[in-house]
Each structure stands twice: as structure tokens, then as C-alpha cells.
Amino acid sequence: MKRLLVFLVFLSTLVNAQSSKPYLLIPDRVFDGKEVHTNWQVLVINNKIEAVGANLKKPEGTEEIILKNQTLLPGLVEGHSHLFLHPYNETSWDDQVLKESPMERAARAVIHAEKTLLAGFTTVRDLGTEGADFDDVGLKQAIEKGIIPGPRMITVGRALIATGSYGPKGYNTRSNVPQGAEEADGNDRLIQAVRGQIGRGIDVVKIYADYRWGLMGEAKATFLQEEIELMVKVAASSGRSVVAHASTEEGIRRAILGGCKTIEHGDAATAELFQLMKDKGVAYCPTLAASDAISQYRGWKKGQEAEPERVQQKRKSFKAALESGVAIVMGGDVGVFTHGDNVREMELMNTYGMKPLDVLRSATSVPAKIFEMKQLGEIKSGYLADLIAVEGNPTETISALRKVTMVMKNGQWYKRP
């Protein structure tokens, strides 16, 4: 055990030593978060991007890294993740929430965090632990302290739901079944719940503006618009925003008018609602890959059978979003499907009509602006050195993002070319 600890200390020292050396990265092309450049170089000193451009002057002791036939990009941002979940075809959501121990879920989350980082996603917005309390805050702290490798995290903790709307459901009404999120209703209780979550260290408040609790089990709106407005007001007093799970027309409308920052899923969003989102400065996170995955779990043979209604609806709403010009944030609801396979969402965005360059922007500069992440999302002098490289040219073929050759976060190596 003593030898192992000494070895780990040695590795930590080695990584820190590497991060202090200047590096001159020389790829075939650079996607800077907005545009593509050839003949560009990127100089990294400590944890910052020192300079970008052609024929850069390099300090003494700089190591040149040639990235032949590769593209350098900002670290990617996953806009909708659940690090404490794993694919539903392995274990159902109910069983994960009710049967898996806190230790098992935490252990899985640690592995998921590393897989996410090594796939080139240096930041995640993790939108709910789904029954794992505020363990995402602890996971974030462990990553920040360097205890475990993982992406930068934006956390929401337990998320907020209207009483009786969420799950698990279907159990004896005399049983006290743990919920996947925190129940709260009415002015006093909602104020207390939002403040309580803020006090536990969350970065963003997440609410469920609708859920499957209608008379026939169909999705219906949950919180009143006035309740949403109140939660937004309370969160804003601490400098935090509110994001909304919303898939029905009424739920989406209430979330937009209530002041939410982003709409997650937006399955039934119409052209009119997307225009309203654009007018109000609300962004859209489509989660196409979750619908695709769940449909396959339920028996759809993709490529052999016609697309189910759920997938067709996603295509329709995504097309309307593109036509509206609303800001789109890449987010796949990963955890429903395998962590580390985050690019699946980007491939579907491209398949459903989004140009590769816009897909890349939706995972770099666009979320950096919407999530108010300073010095991230672009390759620019003075920005933090969150950088990845991939084989090929993802500005033409999105699937090139699957061939990650380099991952640097905050100037430290996690995968060296």
C-alpha cells in the first residue's frame, strides 16, 4: 500500500511538471469554436492559451507537438448529462433509483466522468442525480481537487418537481418510495426548496415543467407559470439560472414565459414556441440521442424498420428549431445511453439537418456563452487551455470526433498525442 501511495504521488508530480512546460501545438487545422483556420498554431503556457496564429514565437524550452492530419478544437461541452445513471437497457431507471446502493452509483459516476473526459468532453452540465441526492456536488469537488479525472461540472443536485408528478411510481400508496427528485409546491415551500438546493452547492436550478402524470399517464404541465417565475426570481437573487425539462406545448410555454434559461427535450415544441424562445433569449437542448436509444430499447430495429412516432416527432421539432434560428445547445441526455458515446447526439444533429460547423459550435462557443463559462468554448489568447485533437476533419465529417487523439484540460494532459 505504501509503495502504491508513493507511486501515485510520483504520477501527480509528473503531471504537474508536464503542465508547467510550454507547448506549441501544430495541427493541420484549428476550429476555434466559431471558424476553421489552417496554418494556425496554438501556444499553451501553464493552464492558459498564450497565443494563436501562424508562425508563433515560442519561449525557450517549448515542446512542439505536431498533429499531422488532425484538427484541434476547444474542449467539447456536453449540455445534458446524468453521470449517476447508466443505460436503461442494462438496468431500468426505477431499479437504479431504488435498488443500487449509493456507493455503487458513486463508483459508476467516477468511471463515467473519466470516460466523458477522454471522449473529448471537458465540461458537462449534469442535470440531475436521479435519486443520488447531492452527490454530483461531491463528484465535482473531487474532480476539482484532482482526486479523480473528469470534466468540469455544472451541477443541479436533485432537481425540483411538483408533488406526485415524478417517479418511481406504481407502488403501494402506503409505501414511502424515494423520489428521483425533490418535491415542492406553493410559494413558501418553493422558496425554501430553491434556497436549500443553493445552500447545498448546486450551480443551476432544474425544474420539471411537465411530466407523465396526466389522467392516462400522458405528459402534462406541472408547475404553474407563477410558480416558475417565483423559482426563477429566487434563483436569480443568488446569480443562478433555472433550466426546465419540458416536452409538452403547455409545459414549454410556461417555462419560457416563466424565465427559464434553457428548454430540455422540447419534443412537442412548435414553430411558434421556438420563435418565442428566440425572442426571449431561451436556448434549446434537443436530446435527440435519448429518444433514439429508448426507441431501440423498446424494440425498434433502426435501419430496418420505419422510425417510431417518438423519433419522427424529434426530427420534426429539431427541423423547426433550425428554421427558427433559436440557439441550440448540444446535449444528448447521456446516461440514458453510454457515457463516452456523447458524439452520438452530434451525429444525429447532423443527420437531422444541422451543418457540421454549426454542430461543433453547439458544443463549444454556444454553450460557453449560454452557460456563462468565461474563458472556455473558444481557442483564444488568454482562454483556459481546454483543448482536444481528433483525427480527420470534423468540420466536414462529425464522426471524426470519435477519433480523439489528445485531451488537455486546464493545461494538464489526460491523453497525450
CATH code of 33's domain = 2.30.40.10
- DSSP one-letter code for 62: P
Number of domains in the chain: 2
Helices (H), 259-330: 271-280, 288-297, 309-324
Cβ partners under 8 Å of residue 15, min gap 6: 412, 413
Determine the Cα–Cα distance for residues 194 and 249; give it in Å rounded to an integer. Answer: 25
The closest alpha carbon to 363, from 70, 113, 33, 31, belongs to 33
Q: For the chain, give me the number of helices (H) and strands (E)? A: 13, 19
Residue type at position 117? L
CB 223 within 8 A of CB 254: yes
Note whether 69 and 82 are same-domain residues: no
Whether residues 167 and 112 share a domain: the answer is yes
- Looking at residue 173, its pLDDT comes to 85
Domain membership of residue 352 as a residue range: 76-370
The reply to whether 113 and 14 lie within a common domain is no
Among candidates 36, 35, 48, which has minimal Cα distance to 383?
Answer: 48
115 and 236, same domain (yes or no): yes
Q: Rounded to whole angstroms, what are the CA distances from 278 to 177, 241, 263, 330, 334?
A: 40, 17, 11, 16, 25
Same domain, 206 and 132: yes
Which strands make up the sheet holding 283-285, listed edge to edge?
182-183, 160-161, 205-208, 242-246, 262-265, 283-285
pLDDT at 100: 97
Q: How far apart are CA 373 and CA 383, in angstroms?
A: 11
- Could you give the CA distance from residue 277 to residue 48 in angstroms, rounded to a whole number? 35
Q: Locate 23 and state its grid cell.
A: 507547448
> Does one domain contain both 86 and 201?
yes
Give the residues of the chain that fall short of pLDDT 50: 1-18
Give the β-pairing of 404-409 and 387-391.
antiparallel
Q: CA 266 to CA 254: how far, in whole Å?
A: 12
Q: Please give the Cα distance from 335 to 329 (Å, whole number).
A: 17
Q: How far apart are CA 386 and CA 120, in angstroms?
A: 10
Helix, coil or strand: residue 52: strand
Q: Give pLDDT, residue 170.
A: 87
Same structural domain for residues 171 and 281? yes
Is residue 305 classed as helix, strand or coil in its secondary structure? strand
Residue 179 is given by DSSP the state P
> Could you give the C-alpha distances from 416 to 65, 149, 378, 409, in angstroms and in order?
10, 14, 20, 11
Q: Does one domain contain both 205 and 215? A: yes
Residue 12 pLDDT: 44
- The reported pLDDT for the residue numbered 176 is 86
* 3-state SS, residue 86: coil
Same domain membership, residue 284 and residue 411? no
Provide the pLDDT for residue 330: 98
Q: What is the largest CA-CA distance in the chain?
A: 72
pTM of this structure: 0.94
**Cβ contact 55:41 at 8 Å:** yes
pLDDT at 175: 84
Contacts of 103 (CB under 8 A, 6+ apart): none
Q: What are phi and psi of 35, to 5 degrees?
A: -135, 170
- SS3 of 151, please? coil
Query: Are residues 124 and 100 part of one domain?
Result: yes
Q: Is 130 in the same domain as 23?
A: no
In this structure, are 42 and 60 located in the same domain? yes
CATH code where residue 260 lies: 3.20.20.140
pLDDT, position 211: 97
Q: Residue 335 carries which side chain, given as an amino acid letter?
A: G
- Report the run of H or E that residue 9 belongs to, with start and end: helix 2-20
